[in-house]
Amino acid sequence: TRTAILISGRGSNMAALLAAARDPAYPAEIALVLSNRADAAGLAHAAAAGVPTAVVESRGFRGDRAGFEAAMQQVLDGHRIDLVALAGFLRVLTPGFVERWAGRLVNIHPSLLPAFPGLETHERAIAAGVRLHGCTVHLVSAGVDEGPILVQAAVPVLPGDTPEALAARVLAEEHRIYPAALAWLAAGRVRLEGGRALVEGAA
Ligand code: GRF
């Protein structure tokens, strides 16, 4: 399954997906890494790994989200992409784009959704005093950080945790669950029932 990873920055989740996809048995082929910022650090890593990269600068579109997405769509079509994985992609997508990719667009979010959608999740988890925090891989639907959940992983919030320490603990789990969830989706093991995702053969 020809898969594009969309990034805006560091790209550590992208790197985890690239590493998993190196296994010939992995069902997703990473055919493109697309960034909305030319300075995204992840682009160099992808290029070094021999993966085609592209940049569609969101800045150039000055709030014209539909125009930005049309430009992205053209690049995705040009690479014959079937599946899109958002990995630290910091642009909100329009309902039109989300609809176009329904069931084939997946995101990772650093919280146990529906708790803490949006940004600065680790700060907010600490401030809220929750004892468990974590990450979620979900299919993307029109709302921000919403959509059927594929998998979650929880980590403890420890006394004296800083946002950075907590983020690192969560990130290690992100790098574990995202490759697993993308594999399920690429292998056609995910089906939707009543707005929830069911994974065939998963516990
Ligand atoms: C990750 O925490 C991801 O969950 C969130 O943004 C961060 C991106 O990190 N959506 P990276 O670019 O994958 O290193």
Instruction: Give nearest CA residue, ligand 1 atom 3.
Output: 88
Spatial neighbors of 63 by CB under 8 A, at least 6 apart, are: none
Ligand 1 near 9 CB (within 6 A): yes
What is the distance between the alpha carbons of residues 45 and 10, in angstroms, rounded to a whole number? 9
Q: Are strands 29-35 and 2-7 parallel, antiparallel or unpaired?
A: parallel
Q: Average pLDDT for residues 33-56, to the nearest whole number?
A: 98
2 and 79 Cβ atoms separated by less than 8 Å: yes
What is the distance between the alpha carbons of residues 159 and 54, in angstroms, rounded to a whole number? 42
Q: Average pLDDT for residues 57-76, to the nearest whole number?
A: 95
Confidence of residue 135 (pLDDT cuts 50, 70, 90): very high
What is the distance between the alpha carbons of residues 156 and 130, in angstroms, rounded to a whole number? 9
176 phi, psi to nearest 5 deg: -90, -45
In this prediction the pTM is 0.97
Task: Find the distance separating the first CA and the last CA of the chain, reported in whole Å.
Answer: 24
What is the distance between the alpha carbons of residues 109 and 87, in angstroms, rounded to a whole number? 9
Confidence of residue 47 (pLDDT cuts 50, 70, 90): very high
Tokens of 19: 């590493």
Q: In angstroms, what is the span from residue 23 Cα to ligand 1's centroid?
A: 23
Q: In angstroms, what is the span from residue 12 Cα to ligand 1's centroid?
A: 7
Q: In angstroms, what is the span from residue 108 Cα to ligand 1's centroid?
A: 7
Ligand 1 near 65 CB (within 6 A): no
Q: In angstroms, what is the span from residue 61 Cα to ligand 1's centroid?
A: 24
pLDDT at 143: 84
Task: Name beta bridge partners: 10.
Answer: none
Residues with a catalytic annotation lie at 109
Q: Does the structure show a pLDDT above 90 at 142?
A: no
pLDDT at 202: 74
How is the chain split into domains, by residue range?
A: 2-199
Mutate to test the pocket of ligand 1, among 12, 107, 121 (most ligand atoms within 8 A of CB): 12
Q: What is the CATH number of domain 2-199?
A: 3.40.50.170
pLDDT at 203: 62
104 and 83 Cβ atoms separated by less than 8 Å: yes
Q: Does the structure show a pLDDT above 90 at 166?
A: yes
Tokens of 60: 């150039």
> Which among 26, 188, 60, 8 is positioned nearest to 17, based on CA atoms?
26
> Which among 81, 13, 14, 76 is positioned nearest to 47, based on CA atoms?
14
Q: What is the CA radius of gyration of the chain?
A: 16
Write the single-letter amino acid at 29. Answer: E
12 is in an annotated binding site: yes
Closest ligand 1 atom to 167 CA = 2
141 is in an annotated binding site: no
Instruction: Give nearest CA residue, ligand 1 atom 2.
Output: 110
Confidence of residue 201 (pLDDT cuts 50, 70, 90): confident
